[in-house]
Structure 1
């Protein structure tokens, strides 16, 4: 009995130390990202993902860094490289968490980045993927504010392209605002971004 207690205590201590190391590493990666050290942050998230073995969040954030960076980049080679890396990270994330709305949303953003980068080359092949991914995410989590907000932005962009009124999707933005207010924040490092983009997207409603 004494031996069992010692063994259980050892595993408990190991688990606590592992969790502390994870939280410290994630905090450092977010700090690097906040200081515009994008590649350092992405690399750290990747290392955390490899150490964690079964956690999708580090790979998810590594992918997000590369995707977001492409929207402010003109260099075609860099864009292609970052989006390829992002897809690889999301593939890793999906091995740990299937039918995950947040991963689907991020993959929709990745495909959006391809269309924004070169619509002539990727518009036909990737636009359908974007729509499909947002629809899947909303089926899994109907009240996910990021799925609703960014799907509305995508639909507004499509409406403008086809000469239609983007204001038709403004009610979806109002719905997203309500869901942002209801969104729980109990899981450490769980995605909660997007609320600061509402005003920018609402410009389409004027």
Structure 2
């Protein structure tokens, strides 16, 4: 009888500890994700600070892919704000390391493929003439794969539209085709429901901004 009671107490204790740890994780993640919903935090230095916090969360929660995903997101977004191209590859490398960790936990993930596509795109700006074809194709292929995994992900269409928007017409870009992608993205955003409050949900306002530039 004593053994049974001890086992029950042990199980209850473990369950309580697990719930407390889960609540702590959710709280820490919610705070950081909320920062990414605030456009004032989109500066190179601020994004790197947030990335560091996500990395610390990931180090403590090794079975969770989202901390590594968001760390990668922060690093790659900071590359597009850098005035010094010499810093881009290093930041892209840090983004790639985190995304590899996220993918090891959650393979065949459309959201992860979106960030991998952005990482490839970020490397183009260092040397567009020599890198454009290689990384442009890599970025496009990753979005195709993401779409095959989940055709309802609005960020896939947004990023495809972004590529068409910023690529010169002589290299395959098209504002007309970009507009179509942005319109599909907004349709998908209207019905998109994140899996949780900390799941990826970014991009709608940015899509509207790019579409407004075309109109």
TM-score, normalising length from structure 1? 0.90
Is 1:167 the counterpart of 2:176? The answer is yes
C-alpha distance in 2, partners of 1:133/1:160? 22
CA contact (8 A) 2:167 2:174 kept: no
Unaligned runs of at least 5 residues, structure 1: none
Which of residues 106, 119, 122 is equivalent to 1:113?
122
Unaligned runs of at least 5 residues, structure 2: none
Q: Per the alignment, in what secondary structure is the counterpart of residue 117 of structure 1? A: coil
TM-score, normalising length from structure 2? 0.87
> Which sits farther off after the overlay, 139-148 or 173-182?
173-182
C-alpha distance in 2, partners of 1:32/1:163? 36
CA contact (8 A) 1:170 1:205 kept: yes
Match of 2:8 in 1: 5
Which of residues 176, 189, 197 is equivalent to 1:180?
189
> Which sits farther off after the overlay, 95-104 or 193-202?
193-202
Which of residues 154, 162, 185 is equivalent to 1:145?
154
Match of 2:21 in 1: 18
> Which sits farther off after the overlay, 182-191 or 123-132?
182-191
Is 1:92 the counterpart of 2:101? The answer is yes
Per-residue deviation at 1:53?
1.1
Q: 1:28 to 1:170 in 2, by over 3 A?
A: closer
CA contact (8 A) 2:166 2:173 kept: no
Q: How many residues align?
A: 206
Task: Please give the root-mean-square deviation of Cα atoms over the aligned residues, in Å.
Answer: 2.0
CA contact (8 A) 2:164 2:172 kept: no
Q: 1:31 to 1:204 in 2, by over 3 A?
A: closer
Which of residues 49, 56, 61 is equivalent to 1:52?
61
CA contact (8 A) 2:164 2:177 kept: no
Match of 2:85 in 1: 76
Per-residue deviation at 1:41?
1.3
